[in-house]
Amino acid sequence: MPKTTPDTQKKQQTLKQSDVPWNVVVLNDPVNLQAYVAIVFKKVFGYSQAKAETLMMEVHTQGRSVVWTGGREKAELYVQQLHSWQLQTTMQKAE
Amino acid sequence: MKILPTLEGGLCILPESEVDWDELQLICSDDERPTYLAESLADLMDDDSEWGEYVVPDLEEGFRNQTRFVDATIKRARQSGEPAIFIPPVEAERWYGALNQVRLSLQASYDVEELDEASDLNDWEPELKSAYFRNRFYLLLQSMLLEFIMNKAE
């Protein structure tokens, strides 16, 4: 005998899916200037100059950087903001 | 063309010929550029995000506002015979955005950032040469916006 009803199982699955953290990933491109990318990180996330520069250098040297991790809705909002600043950005489920 | 910082914390562009004015007006020469950029950013998202339906129209409108603003500023200055275009700090981000759009477009069309400066420019097609120098000029203007306005505003 199952311990939960199908409805409860569905709710738990939905809860699990919405609980999965998402990464906001910024990709390198040859056009956006390094100083500009750091300024955008500070404006969008409120990061310090040091953290913004570290993430910017990660994008530059490794081709990508996970700049934020958290709930899906907030991740989508951040991606939208980064797109509005013309940064190549996507989001992926965190492993 | 000269570009100088101003005492009020902005930039002043001094075109010295009709060619300089033409060069500036080319920043906003392509009406389709905001649409293309918004759609290319949406391509980075999963289809099930419905980015194209919900986000792309807003992005496109934002990009179009940047180019419309810069286009109107340049045309107004040229038509009224003003000797210079002033970019006050409050307008720097819109200028930067419009310049970024044109540079992204030149990169997508001509791969300008990969062109080898050491090679003989005379061997290049005129269109490629033009794209290369336009990109260098817009890059310089962006760098000055960052150095004299946007970095200081942080």
Residues B74 and B98: beta-carbon distance below 8 Å: no
Q: Tell me which of B126 and A95 has the higher pLDDT.
A: B126
Phi-psi region of B58 (alpha: psi -120 to 50; beta: other; left: phi over 0): alpha
Which residues on B lie below 8 Å from A29 (Cβ)? 104, 107
Alpha helices in B1-125 (DSSP H): 18-25, 33-42, 51-54, 56-79, 92-110
**B26, HSE (Cβ side, Cα atoms, 13 Å):** 16
pLDDT higher than 90, residue A44: yes
Residues A43 and B96: beta-carbon distance below 8 Å: no
Q: Tell me which of B104 and A9 has the higher pLDDT.
A: B104
- Alpha-carbon distance of B4 to A89, in angstroms, equals 34
- Alpha-carbon distance of B140 to B1, in angstroms, equals 12
Instruction: Quote the mean pLDDT of chain B.
Output: 92
pLDDT higher than 60, residue A14: no
Looking at residue A7, what is its pLDDT? Answer: 58
Q: Tell me which of B123 and B19 has the higher pLDDT.
A: B19
Instruction: Determine contact: A48 vs chain B, CB below 8 A.
Output: no
Nearest CA to B145 out of B102, B82, B78, B94 is that of B94
Instruction: Determine contact: A84 vs chain B, CB below 8 A.
Output: yes
pLDDT mean over A20-36: 96
pLDDT higher than 90, residue A95: no
Residues B63 and B34: beta-carbon distance below 8 Å: yes
This prediction has a pTM of: 0.89
Instruction: Determine contact: B118 vs chain A, CB below 8 A.
Output: no
| Interface contact flag, A31 B49, Cβ < 8 Å | no
Which residues on B lie below 8 Å from A83 (Cβ)? 38, 41, 55, 59
Instruction: Determine contact: A91 vs chain B, CB below 8 A.
Output: yes
**A79, HSE (Cβ side, Cα atoms, 13 Å):** 31
Looking at residue A9, what is its pLDDT? Answer: 56
User: A20-93: which CATH architecture?
Assistant: 2-Layer Sandwich (3.30)
Looking at residue A19, what is its pLDDT? Answer: 74
Strand, coil or helix: what is A15? Answer: helix
Looking at residue B134, what is its pLDDT? Answer: 92
pLDDT mean over A16-45: 92
- By mean pLDDT, which of A41-45, A81-85, B50-54, B112-116 is the weakest? B112-116
pLDDT-derived band of residue A1, with 50, 70 and 90 as boundaries? very low
**B139, HSE (Cβ side, Cα atoms, 13 Å):** 17
Q: Is B16 exposed, middle or buried (0-12, 13-18, 19+ CB in 10 A)?
A: exposed
pLDDT mean over B55-68: 96
3-state helix, strand, coil in chain A (%, to 5): 55, 20, 25
Looking at residue B116, what is its pLDDT? Answer: 72
pLDDT-derived band of residue B121, with 50, 70 and 90 as boundaries? confident
pLDDT mean over B11-18: 97
Residue partners of B122: CB distance under 8 A and separation at least 6:
none
Looking at residue A10, what is its pLDDT? Answer: 53
Looking at residue A17, what is its pLDDT? Answer: 57
pLDDT higher than 70, residue A85: yes
Count of CB pairs separated by less than 8 Å, A with B: 57
Looking at residue B114, what is its pLDDT? Answer: 83
pLDDT higher than 60, residue B118: yes
